[in-house]
Structure 1
Amino acid sequence: MFGADKGTSGPLDGRKLSIGIVQARFNEGITNALYEACHAELLALGVQEKNIKRVTVPGALEVPVVLQAMAEQDEYDALIALGCIIRGETYHFELVSNESGAGVTRVSLDTHTPIANAILTTENVSQAVARQEEKGRDAARVAIEMAHLLEQLA
């Protein structure tokens, strides 16, 4: 039975896990804050520094292809996508938001690799800043929980 107490797959213990992180550099101040919060939470949950690999890419649209390359290496128990898309005055926001989200989901399903998607999609910078630390920490917890859950189901 999976975590009947809180609906999780068990304790969030990252000691034996290897985690890959793909971080978009666009809106770098926000994505760096996402990374710092995520990285700190991974360490707090027991993931060893040597078992955390961070790769940066130009923007959110490039995140899925690098996630796929990392998933195909079969070295990671879970992956994390970090990015920030802020609405502008054109349709580009919808395109980038929809396609990056669909790409992350497709990679996860195609490779059977858990991916915590922390690509923020916000109306403005202040909304992104308000969410950057919490979403970074959440991504770390989701990655660890899903890695354990898929291991148990295997």
Structure 2
Amino acid sequence: MAAAEEHYELERPSFEKAPKLLIVVAPYYKDIADELVAGARTEIEAAGGTHETVEVPGALEVPIAIGIAERMSNFDGYVALGCVIRGETTHYETVCNDSSRGLMLLGLQGLCVGNGILTVETKDQARVRAEAKGQNKGGGAAAAALHLIALSRNWGNARKGVGFTSTLLAKGGETV
């Protein structure tokens, strides 16, 4: 089992202004979700950040909730948490692929998102990955979001926007 593997972890980023994160969790497997959330909260607080937590029905709704929060709120980053366990139908692939794709698209738009949606074969695999004192994938997702927030703050304006912008030019080529 992967529990014994060791891997490199980046140092926790530090912040002059405390980051505010939204934890979005799909508690379909409540015991797993609770462990993921505990790990995420601990990591955010260790970095001096604050957080709010919202629950959504399932993993497919996690990126949707993050998109809504980005448009209507003022969070610096997002932690996506949940668990998808393979069943007997292709629904597993749909949920895994589409929730992951949704989160990636949000990230490519400039949102600081840590993906902690577990995609596993069994509930035992999920427990090993979720335990805050074990693999702590909730804490890892929060750490990823915190690192992305640190990068975005280091590189400049948090809200530059993505895509085309309209610019009006006055005579002489000056921007109005």
Band of TM-score, shorter chain? 0.7 to 0.9
Identity rate, percent: 33
Structure showing greater relative contact order (alpha-carbon pairs closer than 8 Å, 6 or more residues apart): 1
In the alignment, which of 32, 35, 56 is matched to residue 33 of structure 1?
35
Corresponding residue for residue 171 of structure 2: none
Larger Rg: 2
Q: Distance in 1 between matches of 2:43 and 2:12?
A: 14
Unaligned runs of 5+ in 2: 1-7, 157-176
CA distance in 1, matches of 2:25, 2:123: 18
- Which moves more between the two structures, 20-29 or 101-110? 101-110
* Structure 1 partner of 2:172: none
What is the distance in 2 between the residues matched to 1:43 and 1:149? 19
In the alignment, structure 1 segments of 5+ residues that lack a partner are 1-5
In 2: Cα distance, 1:113 partner to 1:103 partner: 12
Structure 2 partner of 1:76: 75
Matched residue type, 2:18: K
Q: Which residue of 1 aligns with 2:113?
A: 115
- Return the alpha-carbon distance in structure 1 between the equivalents of residues 40 and 104 of structure 2: 20
Q: Could you tell me whether the CA contact under 8 Å between 2:37 and 2:138 is conserved in 1?
A: yes
- RMSD of aligned C-alpha atoms? 1.8
Counterpart position of 2:55: 56
1:12-62 CA distances to partner (integer Å, 9 max, x unpaired)? 225611111100021111011100111112112211xxx311110011011
Residue equivalent to 1:130: 128
Q: Say which is worse superposed, 142-151 or 68-77, in terms of deviation.
A: 68-77
Q: Which residue of 2 aligns with 1:3?
A: none
Q: Distance in 2 between matches of 1:96 and 1:120?
A: 11
TM-score in terms of structure 1 length: 0.86
For normalisation by structure 2, the TM-score amounts to 0.76
Measured after TM superposition, the shift of residue 73 of structure 1 is: 3.0
- 1:54 match: secondary structure: strand
In structure 1, what is the Cα distance between the partners aligned to 2:127 and 2:86?
14
Q: What number of residue pairs does the alignment pair up?
A: 144
Cα distance per residue 1:86-142 (max 9 Å; x no partner): 0111111101000111111112223x1110000000010011000003101111211
Q: Which has the higher helix share?
A: 1
Q: Does the alignment pair 1:96 with 2:109?
A: no
